[in-house]
Amino acid sequence: MSVQTVTSVPGPNARRVLEGDARLISPSYTRGYPLVAKRGEGMYVFDADGNRFLDFTAGIAVCSTGHCHPRVVAAIQKQAAELIHMSGTDFYYEQMVEVAEKISATAPMPGPHRIFYGNSGAEAIEAGLKLARYHSRRPYFIGFYNGFHGRTLGALSMTSSKQTQRARFAPLLPGFFHISYPNPYRPPHGAKDVTAACLEELDRLFHTTTPADEVAAILLEPVQGEGGYIVPPKAFVQELRRVCDREGILLIADEVQSGAGRTGKMWAIEHHGVEPDIVCSAKGIASGMPLGVCFARAGVMDWKPGAHASTFGGNPVCLAAASVTLDLLKESLIQNAAEVGGHLLERLRGWPANHSHVGEVRGLGLMIGIEVVADQKTRTPDPALRDRIVDAAFARGLLILGCGASALRLMPPLICTREQADTALGLLDEAVRASA
């Protein structure tokens, strides 16, 4: 199977949907190009007119097992015929225990663990923030500039990815502070040692506005997602863990986008050799069904009944999908992400030498960022060129998205083969050359 165009894009059926969307749907959504998805199969998405696209977005890193994996679909259908909802906040589901045991077995910190279920990444983050404040009895949080953690009010207070996400929603929650994320390609203040520079910012916070003994948690994306698919130095993450231990601060790993095998390990923080106290997950954990998970060391998740809950969290149909997803990840897909991701990165290493507007290629597994710049020497971002490349790729049948100031991100389903990866790079190469 390959990409195939049978109509102009958007075609007549897609245009009817787009017209209705413009009349009826909230204008707050961010749509880059007019893909009207109708059907998905493995690595491919078909639009409303039958055009077939190679998907390197995975529904924004959600469809980890590919579109409509047969085993996931069968589990959903079976569970939907037995029980759709009863509410795990007031009653019990065996699926809640089953999936919790599987998640606990993958945890990047020693057990025993406790698991909380919600419906999204934002809800998982909200749970993590509330839990950290509850357990520590401390008021403050520290996050990182350009981080994205969600759009609900608590998660938004920690988010600092784009000003438009926060504009006109003030006042946000108090007690949230930020430092620079350690970006080796664009170090803060032009520092030569990005690890030292960011740790110095943290120390300055402690000694000026945010006493360390009043900080409940530091919220870290082990790979910064919306901020540009940035991989921090391992030394920074390890030193951050030591600072947290020294000051009695909890370390929360936001694995919403980077977790569930995407980086070639179950959890991206494992690449850094660091154990978090709390992990927040969603997106790829249930292959497209709405599920958010917050899990922690059992001694940390010590809140009392009624302190936090979710009517729909841990829905049996979503958990059926998650159970099979976790099996598939363990059986082969985490390893495949490592192998095919390594293949992609190896092929992309030479792109800065061959494309004058590619500044850097970076990533782990199948979480890969390509920095688009106006000039390689000055490293000036070029978001307009990045957007043209995204549109040119779409016109050629390849689905990708941007992130950060001017990066492209490659985040295909974890079933991606080497052949499909090579096809995608061929299409992307054409798009880059046509757009420059």
* Long-range pairs of 172-175 with CB within 8 A, sequence gap ≥ 24: 175/139, 175/140, 175/141
Could you tell me if 160 and 263 lie in one domain?
A: yes
Angle at 316 between CA 314 and CA 317, to 5 degrees: 115
d(CA 394, CA 34): 9
Structural domain includes residue 359: yes
Shared domain for 76 and 57, answered yes or no, is no
Pair 144, 180 in one domain: yes
- Residue located via tokens 């050629």: 396
292-297 and 113-118 strand pairing? antiparallel
Burial of 366-402, coded b for 16+ CB within 10 Å and e otherwise, reads bbbbbbbbbebeeeebbeebbbbbbebbbebbbbbbb
Whether residues 125 and 139 fall in one domain: yes
CA-wise closest residue to 389 among 403, 374, 402, 404: 402
All residues at 6 or more sequence positions from 166 whose CB lies less than 8 Å from its CB, including other chains: 156, 159, 160, 172
- As for how many domains the chain has, the answer is 2
Whether 119 and 237 map to the same domain: the answer is yes
pLDDT at 194: 97
Give the other-Cβ count within 10 Å of 147's Cβ.
20
Domain-embedded: residue 7: no
Q: Which domain CATH number covers 418?
A: 3.90.1150.10
On whether residue 4 sits in a domain, the answer given is: no
Residue 165 in any domain: the answer is yes
Is position 205 within any domain? yes
Of 306, 331, 357, 316, nearest in space to 415 by CA? 331
Whether 137 is covered by a domain: the verdict is yes
Alpha-carbon span 175 to 191, nearest angstrom: 28
pLDDT per residue as tens, the chain (436 positions): 889 999 999 999 999 999 999 999 999 999 989 999 999 999 999 999 999 999 999 999 999 999 999 999 999 999 999 999 999 999 999 999 999 999 999 999 999 999 999 999 999 999 999 999 999 999 999 999 999 999 999 999 999 998 999 999 999 999 999 999 999 999 998 999 999 999 999 999 999 999 999 999 999 999 999 999 999 999 999 999 999 999 999 999 999 999 999 999 999 999 999 999 999 999 999 999 999 999 999 999 999 999 999 999 999 999 999 999 999 999 999 999 999 999 999 999 999 999 999 999 999 999 999 999 999 999 999 999 999 999 999 999 999 999 999 999 999 999 999 999 999 999 999 999 999 8
Residues 210 and 268 in one domain: yes
Contacts of 272 (CB under 8 A, 6+ apart): 222, 232, 234, 237, 238
Regarding whether 249 and 174 lie in a shared domain, the answer is yes
Asked whether residue 305 is domain-assigned, the answer is yes
Question: What is residue 1's predicted lDDT score, i.e. its pLDDT?
Answer: 80
Residue 285's CATH number: 3.40.640.10
173 and 228 fall within a common domain: yes
Q: Name which of 260, 294, 252, 258 is nearest 276 in CA terms.
A: 252
Instruction: Identify whether residues 324 and 340 lie together within a single domain.
Output: no
Residue 155 sits in the same domain as residue 251: yes
Alpha carbon distance 313, 118 (integer Å) = 4
Do 229 and 306 share a domain, yes or no? yes
292 part of a folded domain: yes
| Domain span including residue 351 | 12-69+332-435
Among 310, 330, 350, which residue terminates a domain?
Answer: 330
Let me know: does 186 contact 146? Beta carbons within 8 Å.
Answer: no
Q: What is the pLDDT of residue 304?
A: 97
Neighbours of 343 (CB within 10 A): 16
User: Are 356 and 236 found together in one domain?
Assistant: no
Q: Which of 280, 302, 330 is the last residue of a domain?
A: 330
Q: Which of 302, 330, 358 is the last residue of a domain?
A: 330
